[in-house]
C-alpha cells in the first residue's frame, strides 16, 4: 500500500465534489457540515464549474465555447502551444484553479480548514477526461498519443497544485481523482484497453503528491482498481458495494492501510424516501459480511472507512432538498455506527 491517509478514518463523513446548488454560499456551508469537507463543484452556476472545463484551464489547444456549452481540443493549436506548456511544467501556479473556473474553491481556501480532521479536493481523472473530450473532428483525444500523454502529465500537476494549497491549510488534506468514465475501458469497443490504462495510471500516481485516491460511481473491473497504487477508494456502495466486497483484494487493501469511502446514502429522491439511518446501518453492516468471513473484524473495517452519499445528483425534481437531507442522514448514520464499532 502506498500513500494512504495518515490517520484512521473512523467512519468520518465526507462527499464527492458535485452539488446541484445554484447558491454558492449554501453549497459551501453544506460541504463544511461534514467531518471531512470538500470544495463543491457547481455546474448549475456556471459553464466553467463543469469538472471537465475546470480541469482544462490552460491546457494546450483547448477551446472553450461557452455559447454551445462545450470545450474541445484544436489539434493544430495544441502542437502550437506545447512549448508554452513545457515552459511552465515546473511552475505550480500555472496549474492552480483561477476564480473564473471555480467560484467556490478560493472561498473554501479562505475558511479556517485547520479545525477539521482532514479536507479533500478533486480533479477529473486523465482517463475520463481523454475519453470524453474530443478534438476538432469529434474524435476523443484518448486516441491521440501525444495529447493523451500531455493530459496525464497535466492532470497530475493539477492534482499536486491543489494538494499543496489544501495541505497548507490542513496537514491531512488529500485530493482524489474522479473517474466516471473508467468503466468504458473494459468495453471491447473502447480502443483504449485496460492494460494500457493500468500502465499509464501507475505512472500517473507515482508522481502524485500526498495520499492517492480515486472516486467513481460506476462498476468497473474492481481487480483493476485494486491493483493501482492508491490508498483511498471512493465508490457507490449503495449501487455496487455488494459486488466490490466479494473481491479478494479488498481485504488486502484494508489490511495494507487503505481507506474505503462507502457511498451508502442514496441521493435520488425515490431511493432516499425508503431509507433511514437504521436501514442504512443494517445495509452497510450486511455488506461487510464477505469481508468479515475473510478475517477482517467490523471494527477493523470501520476504522478504515469513510461514509459518503452514494452519488452526486443534479436531476432531482426537488433540486437540492433530497441532497441536503442525504447529508444530514449521513451524519446520523455515522453516529450510529461509531457507537457500535469505534472504541
Q: DSSP of 117-154, one letter per residue? A: S--EEEEE-HHHHHHH-BBTTS-BGGG-HHHHHHHHHH
61 located within any domain: no
Pick from 27, 5, 17: which is nearest to 121 by CA?
17
- Model pLDDT, residue 2: 58
Q: In angstroms, rounded to a whole number, what is the distance separating the alpha carbons of residues 254 and 261?
A: 12
**Residue 16, C-alpha cell as written in the block:** 464527492
**Residue 330, C-alpha cell as written in the block:** 449521513
Pick from 22, 2, 1: which is nearest to 207 by CA?
2
5 located within any domain: no
C-beta separation of 172 from 140 below 8 A: no
141 located within any domain: no
Q: In angstroms, rounded to a whole number, what is the distance separating the alpha carbons of residues 318 and 206?
A: 42
- pTM: predicted TM-score of the whole model, two decimal places: 0.96
CATH code for position 210: 3.20.20
Number of Cβ atoms within 10 Å of the Cβ of 277:
18
Write the CA distances from 73 to 68, 143, 145, 169, integer angstroms: 15, 13, 14, 34
- Model pLDDT, residue 336: 97
287 located within any domain: yes
166 located within any domain: yes
Mapped onto helix, strand or coil, the DSSP state of residue 214 is strand
81 located within any domain: no
Q: In angstroms, rounded to a whole number, what is the distance separating the alpha carbons of residues 133 and 56?
A: 10
Q: Which domain holds residue 34?
A: 12-45+103-127+149-341
301 located within any domain: yes
Which contacts of 134-142 are long-range, i.e. CB under 8 A and separated by 24 or more positions? 134/72, 134/73, 135/72, 135/73, 135/74, 135/75, 136/72, 136/73, 136/74, 136/75, 141/73, 142/191, 142/192
Burial of 334 (0-12, 13-18, 19+ CB in 10 A): buried
Structurally, the chain folds into a number of domains equal to: 1
C-beta separation of 343 from 12 below 8 A: no
Torsion 333-17-5-151 (CA) sign = positive
pLDDT digit string (tens) for the chain, length 343 residues: 457 898 999 999 999 999 999 999 999 999 999 999 999 999 999 999 999 999 999 999 999 999 999 999 999 999 999 999 999 999 999 999 999 999 899 999 999 999 999 999 999 999 999 999 999 999 999 999 999 999 999 999 999 999 999 999 999 999 999 999 888 888 767 788 888 999 999 999 999 999 999 999 999 999 999 999 999 999 999 999 999 999 999 999 999 999 999 999 999 999 999 999 999 999 999 999 999 999 999 999 999 999 999 998 898 999 999 999 999 999 999 999 999 999 8
- Model pLDDT, residue 1: 44
7 located within any domain: no
Write the CA distances from 232 to 136, 253, 318, 341, integer angstroms: 36, 9, 32, 20
Amino acid at each position: 500500500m502506498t500513500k494512504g491517509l495518515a490517520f484512521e478514518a473512523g467512519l468520518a463523513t465526507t462527499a464527492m465534489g458535485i452539488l446541484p446548488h445554484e447558491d454558492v454560499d449554501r453549497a459551501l456551508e453544506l460541504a463544511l457540515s461534514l467531518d471531512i469537507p470538500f470544495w463543491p463543484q457547481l455546474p448549475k452556476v456556471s459553464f466553467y464549474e463543469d469538472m471537465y472545463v475546470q480541469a482544462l484551464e490552460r491546457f494546450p489547444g483547448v477551446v472553450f465555447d461557452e455559447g454551445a456549452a462545450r470545450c474541445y481540443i484544436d489539434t493544430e493549436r495544441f502542437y502550437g502551444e506545447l512549448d508554452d506548456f513545457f515552459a511552465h511544467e515546473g511552475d505550480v501556479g500555472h496549474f492552480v484553479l483561477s476564480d473564473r473556473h471555480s467560484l467556490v474553491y478560493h472561498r473554501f481556501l479562505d475558511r479556517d480548514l485547520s479545525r477539521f480532521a482532514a479536507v479533500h479536493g478533486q480533479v477529473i481523472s486523465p482517463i475520463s477526461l481523454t475519453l470524453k473530450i474530443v478534438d476538432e473532428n469529434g474524435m476523443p483525444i484518448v486516441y491521440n498519443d501525444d495529447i493523451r500523454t500531455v493530459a496525464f502529465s497535466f492532470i497530475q500537476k493539477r492534482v499536486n497544485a491543489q494538494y499543496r494549497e489544501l495541505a497548507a491549510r490542513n496537514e491531512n488534506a488529500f485530493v482524489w481523482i474522479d473517474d466516471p468514465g473508467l468503466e468504458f475501458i473494459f468495453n471491447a469497443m473502447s480502443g483504449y484497453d485496460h492494460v494500457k490504462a493500468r500502465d499509464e495510471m501507475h505512472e500517473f500516481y507515482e508522481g502524485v503528491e500526498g495520499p492517492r485516491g480515486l472516486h467513481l460511481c460506476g462498476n468497473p473491473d474492481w481487480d483493476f482498481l485494486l491493483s493501482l497504487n492508491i490508498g483511498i477508494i471512493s465508490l457507490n456502495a449503495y449501487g455496487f458495494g455488494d459486488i466490490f466486497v466479494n473481491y479478494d483484494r479488498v481485504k488486502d487493501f484494508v489490511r495494507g492501510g487503505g481507506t474505503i469511502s462507502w457511498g451508502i446514502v442514496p441521493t435520488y429522491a425515490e431511493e432516499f424516501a425508503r431509507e433511514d439511518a437504521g436501514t442504512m446501518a443494517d445495509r452497510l453492516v450486511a455488506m461487510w459480511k464477505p469481508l468479515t468471513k475473510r478475517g477482517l473484524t467490523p471494527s477493523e473495517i470501520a476504522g478504515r472507512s469513510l461514509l459518503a452519499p452514494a452519488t452526486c445528483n443534479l436531476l432531482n425534481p426537488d433540486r437540492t432538498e433530497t441532497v441536503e437531507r442525504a447529508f444530514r442522514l449521513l451524519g446520523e448514520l455515522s453516529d450510529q455506527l461509531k457507537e457500535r464499532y469505534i472504541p
